[in-house]
Amino acid sequence: MAVQCILTAVERPPAHLLLGSDALSLVTGKLDDLRALLLQWESTTRSTGTAPVGAS
């Protein structure tokens, strides 16, 4: 099954190819942690930004 996934990916390669539910669980957990951190600091991050070019 993994071989078929890799062969399919060769046609349209993803940036990161996860094989197996353990890999998916690990990456999903890391993404959840990152999202929580981003949300925790969102107001600070936005307060230090500048208006986009062309915005009035």
Show Cβ contacts of residue 27 under 8 Å, excluding neighbours closer than 6 positions.
Answer: 16, 18
Domain-located, residue 15: no
- Give the tens place of pLDDT for each residue, 12-40: 777 888 889 999 999 999 999 999 999 99
**What range does the domain containing 33 cover?**
20-44
List of E strands, the chain: none
* Residue 4 in domain: no
Instruction: Report the C-alpha gap between 49 and 16 in whole angstroms.
Output: 30
Give the chain's length: 56
pLDDT classification of 1: cutoffs 50, 70, 90: confident
pTM assigned to the model = 0.63
- Burial status of residue 31 (CB atoms within 10 A of its CB: 0-12, 13-18, 19 or more): exposed
Residue 37 lies in a domain: yes
